[in-house]
Amino acid sequence: MASAARSSSVSAEDAVLLLQGMKTCKTVKIQLMSCTLCSTSAPRSMRYKVLSCACQYCKDAVPYMTSPRRLKILVCQETSDVDIHEQGDHQSRARMPSKPFITPQQRGFIQELAREI
> Can you give the pLDDT at residue 38?
73
The residue ranges of every structural domain in the chain are 5-116
Torsion of Cα atoms, 22 then 25 then 27 then 33, to 10°: -20
How high is the mean pLDDT of the chain?
Answer: 73
> Can you give the pLDDT at residue 78?
83
Helix 104-116 / helix 12-20 crossing angle, nearest 10 deg: 110
Give residue-wise pLDDT tens across range 59-71: 777 777 777 777 8
Alpha-carbon span 30 to 72, nearest angstrom:
10
> Can you give the pLDDT at residue 23?
61
Beta-strand pair 5-10/82-87: antiparallel
Predicted model pTM: 0.57
Q: How would you label 3-17 residue by residue, b for 16+ Cβ within 10 Å and e otherwise?
A: eeeeeeeeeeeebbe
